[in-house]
Chain A
Amino acid sequence: MTELIIASIMTIMTAATPLIFAATGELICEKSGVLNLGVEGMMLIGAVFGFAAVTVTGAPMLGVFAGALAGIFASLIFGFLTLSLLSNQVATGLALTIFGTGLSALFGLEYVGKTIEQIEPIYIPLLTDLPIVGRILFGHDPLIYLAIGILGLTAWFLRRTRAGMILRAVGDSDYSAHAIGYPVIAIRYAAVAFGGAMAGLGGAYLSLAYTPLWAENMSAGRGWIALALVVFASWRPSRVLLGAILFGGITILQLNAQAAGFGIPASYMSMLPYIATIVVLVLISRDSARIRLNAPACLGRAFRAER
């Protein structure tokens, strides 16, 4: 029984990790006032380029790096259009998702069906061998620690640092921040790029650690769930972790239920994460005062400094 619980916790964490990456990136991006709906597209780009890098070089960490880099490149297209050319953020984000889906499908053609070495869980002698808590604390793959580490740093950055305060100021009152002399556009570019790197990492996690293969559209809506997670978290990093674990739990629960075969059709079980996302959105959004209080005031609005 304990073995089953430990195994469940381990798999829930692997399901939660891509969401932690992508939602953390989007959270920073939105905190700066930019709504990037291209997370799904950036994840797919990260997944395919990460996978390709490992196939070519055989070095898993290079794949992780390539995934993040590809995510940054994709996000900068979005950044250029929305920040420099002042295009509509919703439309441009959708364009990025459509572009990312197409690009990853095309680039990934020659990698379909190939296999790579999965990123292995860490093993620390003595610590990992501890009863019960050993594997839960010291037995995940390194990227899970990276995701949680970045999330922690993000929380600290937003709350405790001057740079974090400036980022929030840019997202809450762009014209005032500009008037004080902060480079609004440059800060937003940085936030968008960070969002891209994180979405790319989330994608790379899928193709390198979660299921070590590339398949067209393999993110299966996780980018959109990450967007919903940011709303669920009321733009607070600590709640991103909670939300991601919740969704990881639902994903694993439905997979296990399908395997156990309770007589509920598999398709219905597969709907669970998506329906749960809607339910969670409804529960959070009905308190419109809370959304107004926590959402960055300039979210989705174009900014152009007057001469």
Chain B
Amino acid sequence: MPLEIPLLTLEARATPSVSAAWLSPLLALTLTAITGAAIFLIMGKSPGIALYIYFIEPLTSWSGLSEVLVKAGPLILIGVGLSIGFRAGIWNIGAEGQFIAGALLGSAPAIFFYESANPLILPLMMLLGILGGMGWAAIPAFLKTRFNANEILVSLMLVYVAELLLIHLVQGPWRNPQGWGFPGTRMFPDAALLPVLFAGYRIHLGTIIAIVVPLLVWFALAKTPFGFQIKVFGSAPLAARHAGIGEKRMIWVTLMIGGGLAGLAGVIEASSTIGQLVPKISPGYGFTAIIVAFLGRLHPVGALLAGIAIAVTYIGGEGAQISAGLPKAVTGLFQGIILFYLLAFDLLTRYRLTRITISKSAT
């Protein structure tokens, strides 16, 4: 008698499913919340209250919303830049270092002209911030195009170098002479600080920049041949070569965009919420932005939304630490889990689940 075994199998889709691509981030976030509930339960906390603090409470007050957007700013800027590179298959994972390099170079005017009231100092700082990030990203770009050195490892090694450089500067040459020996530079003059938008809230001009940039990038990618070239380069490198899209140019351009935006994020952070340079200026924005890029489907507007979503967990994590005694480290764990789920669901954009029946004669 033949035995009918129903099986689920994967069938490759002719073209990736767009709806599945946008659905998987939502599914990933939902499942992360459920997994989070389980983790809280194990830690002996009430999952309902903890989830509320993490994911809802930051959105229930104006100050919470303002904090979320402030936190989202650097994540969005870096995430947008990384999206472009990842789309082309160029893996710049050293954005954290480019963020620091941008903050370092961009802050130099505020530190050396600490009594300046010149309104041009701020635009100069922004420009230097972008250049600093670009310069740091130029190292992996040059070593990749000239010597074929792996950009993943080079850009990552430079994160440690940038962190050590920052520590050295704020403890030594750039240390505030009136700072009682504490590591950290002078506070920036008012002219070198990005203006806040509403009195009493921390949301500032840099946040607006972070919201406008993804829209500009979206427009640029949709309306220029370059956007198309990136797509072709990432999905079909051979076809790209035949179409005359140079690999070296693509590596340079994507790393410059990624590095420049990370550098801009760095100088914005230094000249807004921090207002000086200290030994640690980033809670890992450059790495979290990798998640933002993927969660945002490597799309600039996606990165905008994903940046805000991830920022909610950061602010929620701070709230949970204060009000529920939950360790901050939970946030990092959540971020890893979100990415795991997301990558798992991505299967459904390229394959569809179909039922097949295998007939087996039971002998």
Question: Which residues from chain A sit less than 8 Å from chain B, CB to CB?
Answer: 37, 41, 77, 81, 85-88, 90-92, 94-96, 98-103, 105-106, 109, 216, 220-221, 224, 227-228, 231, 265-268, 270-271, 274-275, 277-278, 281-282, 285-286, 288, 291, 304, 307
Cross-chain pairs A/B with CB under 8 angstroms, 22 sampled: A88-B343, A94-B290, A95-B291, A96-B336, A98-B335, A99-B335, A102-B332, A102-B336, A105-B327, A106-B329, A106-B330, A106-B332, A221-B157, A265-B172, A266-B168, A267-B165, A270-B164, A277-B157, A278-B143, A278-B153, A278-B158, A281-B154
In the complex, per-residue mask of B148-184: 1 if CB is within 8 Å of any chain A CB, else 0: 1110111011101100110110011000000000000
Q: Is the CB of B156 within 8 A of A224?
A: yes
B219 within 8 A of A: no
B20 within 8 A of A: no
Query: Closest residue of chain A to B9, judged by CB?
Result: A307
Return chain B residues, CB-CB under 8 Å to A266: 168
Query: Closest residue of chain A to B346, judged by CB?
Result: A87
In the complex, per-residue mask of B106-120: 1 if CB is within 8 Å of any chain A CB, else 0: 000000000000000
Q: Is the CB of A106 within 8 A of B327?
A: yes
Total CB contacts across the A-B interface at under 8 A: 136
Q: Is the CB of B154 within 8 A of A278?
A: yes
Smallest CB–CB gap between B16 and chain A, Å? 13
Between B93, B150, B157, the greatest number of chain A beta carbons within 10 A of the residue's beta carbon is seen for B157
Top 5 closest pairs, chain A to chain B, by CB: A99-B336, A102-B332, A267-B168, A102-B333, A105-B329
B287 within 8 A of A: yes
Given contacts A87-B343, A267-B168, contact A231 B150 (CB under 8 A): yes
Return chain B residues, CB-CB under 8 Å to A265: 168, 172
In the complex, per-residue mask of B312-332: 1 if CB is within 8 Å of any chain A CB, else 0: 000000000000000101111
Return chain A residues, CB-CB under 8 Å to B160: 220-221, 271, 274
Instruction: Tell me the dominant secondary structure on chain B's binding face.
Output: helix
Q: Is the CB of A285 within 8 A of B147?
A: yes
Taking CB atoms and an 8 Å cut-off, the chain B residues in 264-294 that contact chain A are 287-288, 290-291, 294
Measured CA separation A17–B242 after assembly (Å)? 47
Return chain A residues, CB-CB under 8 Å to B187: none
Return chain B residues, CB-CB under 8 Å to A91: 86, 294, 339, 343
Measured CA separation A77–B336 after assembly (Å)? 12
Please pick, from A41, A268, A286, the residue contacting B164 in the complex, using a CB distance under 8 A. A268
Smallest CB–CB gap between B274 and chain A, Å? 20
Query: Closest residue of chain B to A101, judged by CB?
Result: B332
Smallest CB–CB gap between A267 and chain B, Å? 4
Return chain A residues, CB-CB under 8 Å to B228: none
Measured CA separation A98–B336 after assembly (Å)? 5
Measured CA separation A88–B86 after assembly (Å)? 11
Question: Which residues from chain B sit less than 8 Å from chain A, CB to CB?
Answer: 9-10, 86, 91, 93, 139, 143, 147-150, 152-154, 156-158, 160-161, 164-165, 167-168, 171-172, 287-288, 290-291, 294, 327, 329-337, 339-340, 343-344, 346-347, 350-351
Measured CA separation A227–B171 after assembly (Å)? 32
Smallest CB–CB gap between A237 and chain B, Å? 20
Q: Is the CB of A103 within 8 A of B158?
A: no
Measured CA separation A265–B174 after assembly (Å)? 14
8 more A-B residue pairs beyond the given contacts A85-B347, A87-B343, A106-B332, with a C-beta to C-beta distance below 8 A: A37-B152, A91-B339, A98-B288, A102-B330, A105-B333, A224-B156, A266-B168, A267-B164
Query: Closest residue of chain B to A95, judged by CB?
Result: B339
Measured CA separation A41–B161 after assembly (Å)? 20
Q: Is the CB of A277 within 8 A of B153?
A: yes
Measured CA separation A278–B335 after assembly (Å)? 28
Measured CA separation A267–B10 after assembly (Å)? 52
Return chain B residues, CB-CB under 8 Å to A281: 143, 149-150, 153-154
Return chain B residues, CB-CB under 8 Å to A94: 93, 290, 339
Query: Closest residue of chain A to B339, judged by CB?
Result: A95
Measured CA separation A41–B331 after assembly (Å)? 16
Smallest CB–CB gap between B108 and chain A, Å? 18
Smallest CB–CB gap between A10 and chain B, Å? 26
Given contacts A37-B152, A267-B167, A281-B150, contact A99 B340 (CB under 8 A): yes
Smallest CB–CB gap between A144 and chain B, Å? 25
Q: Is the CB of A227 within 8 A of B153?
A: yes
Q: Is the CB of A95 within 8 A of B157?
A: no
Query: Closest residue of chain A to B93, judged by CB?
Result: A94
Return chain B residues, CB-CB under 8 Å to A41: 336
Return chain B residues, CB-CB under 8 Å to A224: 153, 156-157
Return chain A residues, CB-CB under 8 Å to B86: 91
Between A106, A221, A268, the greatest number of chain B beta carbons within 10 A of the residue's beta carbon is seen for A106
Return chain A residues, CB-CB under 8 Å to B150: 228, 231, 281, 285
Measured CA separation A99–B39 after assembly (Å)? 14
Given contacts A267-B168, A281-B149, A282-B143, contact A102 B331 (CB under 8 A): yes
Please pick, from B143, B287, B340, the residue contacting A77 in the complex, using a CB distance under 8 A. B340
Return chain A residues, CB-CB under 8 Å to B336: 41, 95-96, 98-103
